[in-house]
Structure 1
Amino acid sequence: MSASPHRFHRLLLASSALLFTLACGEGMPPEEVAVEPEADEVGTTESPLLFGILAGSRVRAVENVYLRTGPSTSNTAIRLVSIGEQATVVSESPSGGFYRLNVNGTVGWSHGDYWDQVPTLRVNGYLLSKDQEKWLRWVAAKVVPRLEGTRDQRLDVAARVSWWAMKEGIWDLGRNRPDPMSSPLTFSLCNTSTGDRAIWPLDVCYNNGGPWQVGLAGVQVHYVTLADVEAVARRLYAREGWTVAQILDHTARTAGFPAGSVEHGTIVNTTNTALRKSWLLRNHGVGFTFEHAAVYDQCIVQGLGWCYGSSQTWDPAYKFASNGSAMNTSIAHIRQHLSSLAP
């Protein structure tokens, strides 16, 4: 972890606001081809507003929109949902941009472009932003089961790293497609002589040994070797028996780069050490595993200056890291949420 205060939150907080313009009048979703993402993937057919949304999340209609019997405008309309009405996501896997929702007991399909998430969870007294809650739910569903150890140990790791990434602002980047830099799953930061700057997910930063803070965990790339990263990746996916190439394939598709895309091919086949290492660390299990060691030692044990204190003045850091007590309380609350949400 860098000894200098982290500054990327000042550069990218604007990305958390989705600049998505909705159609006026009654929400009539466009006809789209139904494409189901593979299991355990975020997928590539999701609405920009609901990217990464999981089953059980609450959403609110941002336009009048039909609830239908199937995932297409050719399916029969069950009812018209009025702007402001809320629903619960039944299935996290969209079909052609349509999601299965429960609107006050009526289950049907509706296009994600006309819904936005409603945050419901609090940490250290603060209501989480929709993106913070979305990724916390994602960690519960995807990261906790992938980590090593007992359930209590996995929850400890996930909670501490989630606190780190949350207070650093990584989870507030949003999903302002078509720019993948705005997704925490593809996030990459480079330290330069003029300060930290976000770089394209396939760019290589040679300062300090490569991209130094990447992915959902905000993990530091240049403090670990490629051999160690590959070893941990193989161990975490030993149940599937996957090769490193298969793990990179899975990571690329989870981040929204489908097989056949230039990005996917580059991620899977790159021989550049820094880029290969950074993409393995973007894998949720791998990234959380490595970042936990740094967070535990430097923040929990040593209480170093970039973890919490008077320098943590930006939003959201001041909410979760104003002092050691705020850090510990925030981690405890995050762990409670993860424990109730994780399998």
Structure 2
Amino acid sequence: MSVTTRRALASAFLLFSLACGEGLPPDDAALPPDAVEETGTTESSLLFGILAGARIRAVENVYLRTGPSTSYASLRLVSIGEQATVVSETPSNGFYRVNVGGQVGWSHGDYWDQVPSLYVNGYALSKDQEKWLRWVAAKTVPRLTGTRAQRLDQAALVSWWAMKEGIWDLGPNRPNPSSNPQSFSICNTSTGDRVIWPLESCNNNGGPWQVGLSGVQVHYHSQASVENMARQLYAREGWSIAQVLDHTARTAGFAAGSVEHSTIVNTANLALRKSWLLRNHGVGFAIQYPQVHQQCVVQGLSWCYGGSHTWNPAYKFASSRAAMTTSVAHIRQHLSNLAP
């Protein structure tokens, strides 16, 4: 898919997409062959959620600049296929600080993609699976409660669930290439599951069916239990429920002051409020772990694994109980290596 097509999709579908390009400065008026103009979304659909230290690859020729906009001077033209290391995970106007062969500068995230390197159950993880697994290691494992071993157990099993459900990938559950699993939500209907937008609340069991990075099933959990978990996980910060919702909305890409952010923080719709608390990575993982453990590890229910699971990536990680056990062990080892 070309960058132009990705931009069109992002513009059409992402509620929080903002144009950030200012045009090329005078010194770039005569572009080298195949050079690109660095304009795109504020949060790159390719690098959203990327962490410092990740390896990335240029998907088109793109400039490395002295600062985070096209008004800054060009340090060099990076050729398609060249690799770099992310220096800072926080973008500015869609530009990331990166190290290309020892030269540090800024480059727009729309022209880079992550280089995957991890394997689970004999399969190479996709770039999105690896990106979010690294994110869980850095952000979610420290947020959970218990010993390090207990936190790794929780994160590994729920990560397996989310991966085999396809939530971390572009697939049936995420038909929009610009989708972000932090705001992911589906509604279960008589004709099957359908993706719903972040502020939409379906009528299935009083709200969305499955949400967030953890793929947690909303209707199994009461409002009180979800709010209690949120308070527990953010006790050291002393955050209120509104502050947890604020953090969750911003993590999902909705800036403070946006309509989406304001609605998430202030909604009186209890189903939407509960679903957004469960979209919080810590709350979602902590709440989902006992459910997945009981259904898949203890009971071995049909939807956990089996030969009928033919969709990608379920067949890789959930074709049998043995595949589940091996996959969870591999995921746990990766998390142990990556987490603080």
Q: 1:277 to 1:18 in 2, by over 3 A?
A: farther
- Distance in 1 of aligned mates of 2:240 and 2:7: 42
1:138 maps onto 2:135 in alignment:
yes
| CA offset digits 1:228-260 (Å, max 9, x no partner) | 110110010001100001101111111111111
The residue that corresponds to 1:103 in the other structure is 100
- Distance in 2 of aligned mates of 1:107 and 1:271: 47
The residue that corresponds to 2:259 in the other structure is 262
| CA offset digits 1:90-138 (Å, max 9, x no partner) | 1101111111111122222111121111111111111111111111111
1:181 Cα deviation after fit: 8.2
Equivalences for 1:1-343 in 2 at 5 Å?
A: 19-20=5-6, 25-30=34-39, 45-173=42-170, 182-343=179-340
Which residue identity does 1:259 align to in structure 2? Answer: A
Question: For the Cα contact (< 8 Å) 2:186–2:210, is it kept in 1?
Answer: yes
Question: For the Cα contact (< 8 Å) 2:45–2:179, is it kept in 1?
Answer: no
- Distance in 1 of aligned mates of 2:184 and 2:4: 16
Which residue identity does 1:62 align to in structure 2? Answer: V
Q: 1:19 to 1:128 in 2, by over 3 A?
A: farther
Which residue identity does 2:316 align to in structure 1? Answer: K
What SS does structure 2 have at the residue aligned with 1:100?
strand
What SS does structure 1 have at the residue aligned with 2:91?
strand
The residue that corresponds to 2:20 in the other structure is none
- Distance in 1 of aligned mates of 2:335 and 2:137: 5
| CA offset digits 1:49-100 (Å, max 9, x no partner) | 2111111211111122222222232333222211111111111011111111
Question: For the Cα contact (< 8 Å) 1:160–1:296, is it kept in 2?
Answer: yes
Which residue identity does 1:100 align to in structure 2? Answer: R
Q: 1:96 to 1:181 in 2, by over 3 A?
A: closer
Q: 1:298 to 1:118 in 2, by over 3 A?
A: same
Q: 1:181 to 1:243 in 2, by over 3 A?
A: farther
Deviates more, 1:51-60 or 1:320-329: 51-60
Deviates more, 1:156-165 or 1:268-277: 268-277
Q: 1:297 to 1:181 in 2, by over 3 A?
A: farther
Please list every run of 5 or more consecutive structure 2 residues that lacks an aligned counterpart in the other structure.
9-30
1:313 Cα deviation after fit: 0.9
Question: For the Cα contact (< 8 Å) 2:199–2:260, is it kept in 1?
Answer: yes
- Distance in 2 of aligned mates of 1:79 and 1:262: 39
Q: 1:296 to 1:184 in 2, by over 3 A?
A: same
Provide the alpha-carbon RMSD of the alignment: 2.3
1:210 Cα deviation after fit: 1.6
- Distance in 2 of aligned mates of 1:87 and 1:103: 5
Q: TM-score, normalised by structure 2?
A: 0.87
1:273 Cα deviation after fit: 1.5
Please list every run of 5 or more consecutive structure 1 residues that lacks an aligned counterpart in the other structure.
1-14, 33-43
Question: For the Cα contact (< 8 Å) 1:167–1:317, is it kept in 2?
Answer: yes
Which residue identity does 1:139 align to in structure 2? Answer: V
Question: For the Cα contact (< 8 Å) 2:170–2:177, is it kept in 1?
Answer: no
What SS does structure 2 have at the residue aligned with 1:87?
strand
Structure with the bigger RCO (C-alpha within 8 Å, sep 6+) is 1
Q: 1:188 to 1:51 in 2, by over 3 A?
A: same
1:211 Cα deviation after fit: 0.9
- Distance in 2 of aligned mates of 1:100 and 1:75: 13
Aligned residues: percent identity?
74
Q: 1:141 to 1:302 in 2, by over 3 A?
A: same
- Distance in 2 of aligned mates of 1:322 and 1:334: 16
1:18 Cα deviation after fit: 10
- Distance in 2 of aligned mates of 1:274 and 1:180: 26
What SS does structure 2 have at the residue aligned with 1:173?
coil
Question: For the Cα contact (< 8 Å) 1:181–1:200, is it kept in 2?
Answer: no
Count of residues paired in the alignment: 313
- Distance in 1 of aligned mates of 2:263 and 2:177: 15
Q: 1:95 to 1:295 in 2, by over 3 A?
A: same
Which residue identity does 1:263 align to in structure 2? Answer: E
| CA offset digits 1:200-221 (Å, max 9, x no partner) | 1111112223212100101011
Question: For the Cα contact (< 8 Å) 1:59–1:89, is it kept in 2?
Answer: yes
- Distance in 1 of aligned mates of 2:57 and 2:336: 25
